[in-house]
Amino acid sequence: MEDDFKHLVRISRKDVDGNKTIEHALTDIKGVGLSLSRSLALAMGFDLNQKIGYISDEDVLKIEEALEDPQKYNIPEWMLNRQRDYATGETTHLIESDLVMTLRDDLNRMRKTRSYKGRRHEVGLPVRGQRTKSTFRKGSSVGVRRRRG
């Protein structure tokens, strides 16, 4: 049993600790949360408490394929992180560097079109309507001064 244990497992350009369970190991991949990792593991028929260091190389390839296209394994559309893409209109799931580049492109597009969200991102202020009087204080801002007297 110890002979086929791998301390590091390479999944989708990411080294994952072999001592973690399958559902927790998949969350180390950027773009994969706990609910998606649980759903993928159950859809592929893995034991959730099995350590990922014990799975075979064929199963690792199967997991990579499932991460590339989770809809093949009947993962619902609302679990995917790229719904109705701006350019293509398709629903996909992005991981690792693809996710980072796409988010950066989205922010640059919002800045370029001078949308409200883009301008808030430029200045470093909250984008989704949060209050700014008491929170989001960054830098060398001085607090409120009391009157003397």
Tens-place pLDDT, residues 28-60: 999 899 999 999 999 989 988 889 889 988 989
Answer yes or no: is 43 within a domain: yes
Q: Are 73 and 101 contained in the same domain?
A: no
For 80-126, write each residue's pLDDT tens digit: 988 898 888 888 888 888 889 999 999 999 999 999 999 999 888 89
CATH no. for residue 52? 1.10.8.50
Q: How far apart are alpha carbons 71 and 50 in whole angstroms?
A: 24
> Total domain count for the chain?
2
Instruction: List the one residue out of 57, 60, 58 whose CA is nearest residue 12.
Output: 60
Q: How far apart are alpha carbons 96 and 118 in whole angstroms?
A: 23
Q: Computed from CA positions of residues 19, 53, 35, 97, in that sequence, does the dihedral angle turn out positive or negative?
A: positive
Beta strands in the chain (DSSP E): 8-11, 14-17
The pTM score is: 0.74
Q: Are 58 and 101 contained in the same domain?
A: no
Q: Are 12 and 69 contained in the same domain?
A: yes
Q: How far apart are alpha carbons 107 and 101 in whole angstroms?
A: 10
Domain that holds residue 122: 95-128
Q: Computed from CA positions of residues 119, 121, 122, 123, in that sequence, does the dihedral angle turn out positive or negative?
A: positive
